[in-house]
Amino acid sequence: MQRHEEKLAVVIPVLLRPCDTGNADFMKLQGLPKNFKPVTTWANPDEAFTDIAKGIRAAAEGMRNTQLVRQANAPFDKPVPTKIAPSSGAQFSGKTKIVFCNRLGEDWKLLADYLEITPAEQSRFTPGDEGRNIWVWLDNRGRLTEFPEILFEINRPDLAQLFTSAT
C-alpha cells in the first residue's frame, strides 16, 4: 500500500470469496470485480473473471499512458532549438516524411494530444497510418515547421533531428 501511495506500484484488490475485510487499507481502493462483489457470488463466475480482466487491462493502459506522459515531460540532454531554420513555407523531402512516419509509432497519440487534434479528427485517421495523417493535418494548416519543437516537447529528439537536418 505504501508503494501504491508513492505511485511506485498499483494495487488492485480482487475479491474471490466473501470475507471480513474489516478496515483493511485496500478497501479504500477501487476493487474488482465491479462493485467489489466477490467472484463466487456471481451467477456466472466467468463474467466476474472477464470483468476482472477488463479492469486490470484498463489499469495497465492507464499506467502506460501515465508513463508516456512522464517520458514526454522528462528533460532530455539535447537543447531545444530556439529557431527552426526553414521558413514557414518550408518543404521537407519525401524521405523525411517516410522516415518520420515509420519511426513515430504509438507516439502519434502524444503528438495528436499536443497538437490538440480533436477526437473526431483523430477518428478519421487511417489505422496504422496515423503519422502520415498528422503530417497531412499539419501541412494543410501550413504548420510543418512546428514539427521539430513539438517533437522535442514529446521527448522524441531523434525525430526532431530529421527536420533540423532536412533543410
- Regarding whether 42 and 12 lie in a shared domain, the answer is yes
Nearest residue to 81 (alpha-carbon basis) of 167, 141, 161, 166: 161
Residue 80 is assigned to a structural domain of this protein: no
Q: How many domains does the chain have?
A: 2
Residue 105 is assigned to a structural domain of this protein: yes
Model confidence pLDDT, tens digit, residues 79-91? 444 333 443 445 6
Peptide bond into 33 cis (omega under 30): yes
Q: What percent of the chain has pLDDT over 90?
A: 13
Last residue of a domain, one of 73, 104, 134: 73
Model confidence pLDDT, tens digit, residues 107-140? 888 888 888 888 888 888 888 888 899 888 888 8
pTM above 0.75, yes or no: no
Residue 85 is assigned to a structural domain of this protein: no
Domain that residue 32 falls in: 2-73
- Regarding whether 64 and 98 lie in a shared domain, the answer is no
- Regarding whether 58 and 98 lie in a shared domain, the answer is no
- Regarding whether 157 and 118 lie in a shared domain, the answer is yes
- Regarding whether 100 and 40 lie in a shared domain, the answer is no
**Could you tell me if residue 121 is left (phi over 0), alpha (psi between -120 and 50 degrees) or otherwise beta?**
alpha
**How many CA atoms lie less than 13 Å away from 43 in the CB half-sphere?**
0
- Regarding whether 61 and 118 lie in a shared domain, the answer is no
